Chains A and B, each alone.
Chain A
């Protein structure tokens, strides 16, 4: 089944404790992206990647890192999480020239 998977789905952590949210897609998509969704602010892009080893900042990259060592994986790294990073995070992928983005199920992160 073609899909985008994210892990974990739910995470509660404390300020300053490094964490990684994984994202994987099995559709051989070139483009992958991370968004955060907050009430009243909609979907804001954190980072995106056009292909392996090519990453770029989105609208709200501060406090986040990403890597794209393989085509299928695009982990989101929070080196020192803070409470303002409490949010719902979505990973998405699409073909380079494609129209439809496929979204993962979301990761709800709470930073205490």
Chain B
């Protein structure tokens, strides 16, 4: 099957920038996503990018997409302790006539003072 890969852990100091990286394999993905899971909660969509874009900015969040290398990154500027969570990269892989979401394993972001 298709794979979405991301590192498992990232530790940053409060106020620094965080960059979470992801690689995917399905070149037919039309959208790529970042979901956030706070402790004890389900996943919530944080942001997404259309595959014909290479950058999307939303306040402190910047998503960069390198379609040639199938590489997606999420940059969080001025990281706060409230940003501590698990971040999942996901693609909409085409399978069986429909787009099926495929998730990475998640990156645990730890923000320390």
Contacts and interface: CB of A to CB of B under 8 A. Distances in A.
A96 B98 contact: yes
B31 A42 contact: no
Nearest to A31: B98
B101 A101 contact: yes
Interface in B72-101: 88, 92, 96, 98-101
Contacts of A106: 40-42
Interface residues of B, number: 24
Contact of A104 (B42, B92, B98, B106): B42
Interface in A39-55: 40-43, 45, 48, 50
Interface stretch (B13-21, B43-51, B54-62, B63-71): B43-51
Interface in B1-58: 1, 8, 31, 33, 35, 40-45, 48
Contact of A99 (B31, B42, B105): B31
Contacts, number: 51
29 contacts: A33-B101, A35-B103, A40-B8, A41-B105, A42-B88, A42-B103, A42-B105, A42-B106, A43-B43, A43-B105, A56-B96, A59-B1, A90-B43, A92-B42, A94-B101, A97-B99, A99-B31, A99-B33, A99-B92, A100-B33, A100-B45, A101-B45, A101-B101, A103-B42, A103-B43, A105-B41, A105-B42, A106-B41, A106-B42
Interface of B: 1, 8, 31, 33, 35, 40-45, 48, 88, 92, 96, 98-106
